[in-house]
Structure 1
């Protein structure tokens, strides 16, 4: 029997697009369902030409996927518009009509109905993501369809333990730890999704490790790190001396989950030797400590993706001291630009970085280790070029296409084992 996979992702992103492309190239794709899918020349793509909706252009797919792609754009366009207009009640966590939670739940329900209403002679599996898989997996089980689950970030029980510890370590930054706001209903759904999965896909060893906190038996776990963007063709490295500070960059949500408080503490301690630029939006306007630090450093709330890559290209080092992560795509993005990265053992760093060779690894939650690492670089600035070139070579050897192929091969292997 021909084996085909339906894939569902409400908002899509680089890793999802790679899986869709990989399944298509392996002749495994049955259909792809999402909220917004932009194809050159269509109405949605033209809407993305207007500045308030430029985010749509980041959801562009290859024209060869158009006949297999099904979109339901209303809620997601409403979310984007609400963000731009500051209509916060409409995008309120879990309860807002245009909230990301409602978008995920709505597509999940749509998939459940489709799986229950049709005969699927070729359809043997559904590939869905955290918070958008529960009802579709229930329907899939009734119809004897395999459930492939993608967990993009570490398990929630582990997250709560770690973030509660951070709340004690950095009490003035606790309002940025929004991951502690999920309702019991949402957390229960996450556990139900995991329980229904026949195979679980994660992008880092850290994410896999967090699943040890799940109170029950789980399906086999596949660790497949994400791919890298196309590496920069050239990279020049400017010497650091008495007249030039080390240019360090942080990119990500301005939350202590990402280690932003540690970032500022170290930058302030080394103020005479480093220049910090921060790119990312505030998760809250109510953190006085964050507002104070942003006024002291170079802060860019938002940039188009290509401009972020250019900024990475122009900096000496990217620091990403995340406390709790699933992967951390800013790591691979910076490495693709030949910019070496300092990151923690709670990211994909240990899966793709060899310490002091193509990047640097530190312990999550240690400002001192971050500071020591930067000081070591300041004493041996020639290492920046050496490590940066090795980082770019790492990116060259692992494209997004490789990631998509590996996911497809894992799915084929699962089918062959049953």
Structure 2
């Protein structure tokens, strides 16, 4: 098996697959948009934060097996900073996320005949929204198509989000682009899944979201890994009774992640000994959030190490999402000794050992959230041990294991 792996921005789960393919000698080529050379002298001229951002696009790939397609991604990153934000408008702009994905997908598709001839590539591994042209060309060449779906399939996600727009109309503007996707974009997503020979997903919520006609396809379900050094965080300290219980929410501040339900739960409790801490990008004016819940602590986005430090200053992590794939932030919180309060739709039901690493509650249930928050308030002495068990449980999820399990199943002759 020789695999062409493609992803425009190369996130953590992509890197794990890439590492496994390199280690197994099965990588034909990795295609992405931008790739940084950490040894380049000019990097020293950049401000530290910008340098760190650029170095996130570094990939450990053997020479000759990395191909970049940079122009639209450069436009997407730079044009808004030049006051040309209309060029990145959703589905309309030349450098929009959608246009960048499609242009990238087409560029990868054009390389496949050459890679099949020169590298004996027989498999393409691509991700949602960036796979249609690649899969179409791969099918014409007789190559196998592996489709990685890191979030719930669009029909399930859109259905849930439209229900949310009706259930909490004030929060509808925070639901994101999913409910504004055009019919053409949704048709592309459907066609990608139709062309897929194998579907990869991080958990049961994603796999259960597949339409009935697609569930007969071979699937690979492997949970994402936890942060490196997951067992190295300092032990969770007992929550001082003199200060409020700090409940942390991390993510885009919208109802897709259930923030409206969490606000309602906190309003119901009206407890001065509970402090809600929010870290993430606002999707509405801050005045909207203060109108919904006047008393919370907002923390602006920051470098990753500072995010982990903030986690260690809190006591419980809460993410009552309506639609996710598998939110990586859950395992990051566990790695810092925080028990979880989450819904099954976060994709992290397997992270919960009920009452030991946290609690699982239904979606759209402020009452259930309030009940469990009350439990934490009334059982502060139990939180350090729950945090220890959460941290220990998270150590079982590694990125090396994630990548190697996907590769092991892909090489199974029954999937060939």
Q: Which residue matches 1:113?
A: 110
Identify if the C-alpha distance between structure 1 residues 43 and 110 changes in structure 2 by more than 3 Å, giving closer, same or farther: farther
Q: Contact between 1:173 and 1:290, CA under 8 Å: does it hold in 2?
A: no
Q: Which residue matches 1:32?
A: 30
Stretches of structure 1 that go unaligned for 5 or more consecutive residues are none
CA displacement, residues 333-387 of structure 1 (integer Å, 9 cap, x when unaligned): 1111111111101122212322212222111111111111111111111221111
CA displacement, residues 287-325 of structure 1 (integer Å, 9 cap, x when unaligned): 863353576322123111221112112211111110111
Q: Which residue matches 2:272?
A: 272
Secondary structure of 2:380's partner?
coil
Between the aligned partners of 1:296 and 1:313, the Cα distance in structure 2 is: 21
Identify if the C-alpha distance between structure 1 residues 222 and 157 changes in structure 2 by more than 3 Å, giving closer, same or farther: same
Q: Which residue matches 2:346?
A: 347
Between the aligned partners of 1:417 and 1:325, the Cα distance in structure 2 is: 27
Q: Which residue matches 1:97?
A: 94
Between the aligned partners of 1:395 and 1:173, the Cα distance in structure 2 is: 32
Q: Which residue matches 2:136?
A: 138
2:53 to 46, 52, 55: 55
Q: Which residue matches 1:360?
A: 359
The Cα of 1:215 is off from its aligned counterpart by 5.0
Between the aligned partners of 2:337 and 2:353, the Cα distance in structure 1 is: 15
Q: Which residue matches 1:263?
A: 262
Secondary structure of 1:18's partner?
helix
The Cα of 1:4 is off from its aligned counterpart by 0.9
Is 1:180 matched with 2:179? yes
Q: Which residue matches 1:281?
A: 281
Identify if the C-alpha distance between structure 1 residues 45 and 139 changes in structure 2 by more than 3 Å, giving closer, same or farther: farther
Stretches of structure 2 that go unaligned for 5 or more consecutive residues are none
Between the aligned partners of 2:42 and 2:321, the Cα distance in structure 1 is: 35
Identify if the C-alpha distance between structure 1 residues 368 and 44 changes in structure 2 by more than 3 Å, giving closer, same or farther: farther
Identify if the C-alpha distance between structure 1 residues 273 and 65 changes in structure 2 by more than 3 Å, giving closer, same or farther: farther
Identify if the C-alpha distance between structure 1 residues 357 and 68 changes in structure 2 by more than 3 Å, giving closer, same or farther: same
Identify if the C-alpha distance between structure 1 residues 133 and 417 changes in structure 2 by more than 3 Å, giving closer, same or farther: closer
Between the aligned partners of 1:44 and 1:364, the Cα distance in structure 2 is: 49
The Cα of 1:98 is off from its aligned counterpart by 1.8
Is 1:123 matched with 2:121? yes
Q: Contact between 1:194 and 1:218, CA under 8 Å: does it hold in 2?
A: no
Is 1:226 matched with 2:224? yes
Secondary structure of 1:123's partner?
coil
RMSD: 2.2
CA displacement, residues 236-270 of structure 1 (integer Å, 9 cap, x when unaligned): 33333541110111110111001111222223334
Q: Contact between 1:4 and 1:125, CA under 8 Å: does it hold in 2?
A: yes
Q: Contact between 2:322 and 2:363, CA under 8 Å: does it hold in 1?
A: yes
Identify if the C-alpha distance between structure 1 residues 83 and 265 changes in structure 2 by more than 3 Å, giving closer, same or farther: farther
Q: How do residues 15-414 of structure 1 correspond to structure 2 at under 5 angstroms? A: 15-42=13-40, 49=47, 51-52=49-50, 54-62=52-60, 64-85=61-82, 87-117=84-114, 119-120=117-118, 122-178=120-176, 179-211=178-210, 213=211, 218-230=216-228, 231-268=230-267, 269-285=269-285, 289-290=288-289, 292-293=291-292, 296-413=295-412
CA displacement, residues 11-37 of structure 1 (integer Å, 9 cap, x when unaligned): 111111011001111111111011122
Between the aligned partners of 2:158 and 2:7, the Cα distance in structure 1 is: 25
Q: How many residues align?
A: 412
The Cα of 1:78 is off from its aligned counterpart by 2.4
Identify if the C-alpha distance between structure 1 residues 97 and 342 changes in structure 2 by more than 3 Å, giving closer, same or farther: same
Identify if the C-alpha distance between structure 1 residues 121 and 259 changes in structure 2 by more than 3 Å, giving closer, same or farther: same
Identify if the C-alpha distance between structure 1 residues 380 and 85 changes in structure 2 by more than 3 Å, giving closer, same or farther: farther
Between the aligned partners of 1:48 and 1:177, the Cα distance in structure 2 is: 35
Between the aligned partners of 2:309 and 2:375, the Cα distance in structure 1 is: 26
